Amino acid sequence: MRNSFSRMKAGVLLSETRVKNMDNEFLRQIDHASELLKETLDEKLEDDVLICECFCVNVRDIREACSEKAEVDLDLLRKRFSMGEGCQSCTKAASEWVNKIF
């Protein structure tokens, strides 16, 4: 009885150690994933990425048009390129690309 209790106790200790190791590994992976996510969020788009397919406006066009303030001005892009006046998917998805221009 004592032996099985000791083994069981040892098994619980082993499990707790494994859980701690798993927790540490899991936390390390979460830290790594959040670093990758931040890098992805901070990543700027290449010049040739097409933002508005209807009017063929790419990132380079947007950077040149909005270079004075170094921030995306959707009204300016609409006036200059008619961007967003077709299917509007580019402007509806603006939150996905606006912060990746400058």
**Site of interaction with ligand FES (CB under 6 A):** 52-55, 83-90
Alpha-carbon distance of 39 to 41, in angstroms, equals: 5
Least distance CB 30 / ligand FES (angstroms)? 36
Please identify, using beta-carbon distances, which residue of 67 and 88 lies nearer to ligand FES.
Answer: 88
Kind and range of the H or E element at 51? Answer: strand 50-52
Please identify, using beta-carbon distances, which residue of 12 and 93 lies nearer to ligand FES.
Answer: 93
Residue 93, token pair as written in the block? 């998805």
Alpha-carbon distance of 100 to 96, in angstroms, equals: 8
Least distance CB 21 / ligand FES (angstroms)? 49
Least distance CB 94 / ligand FES (angstroms)? 10
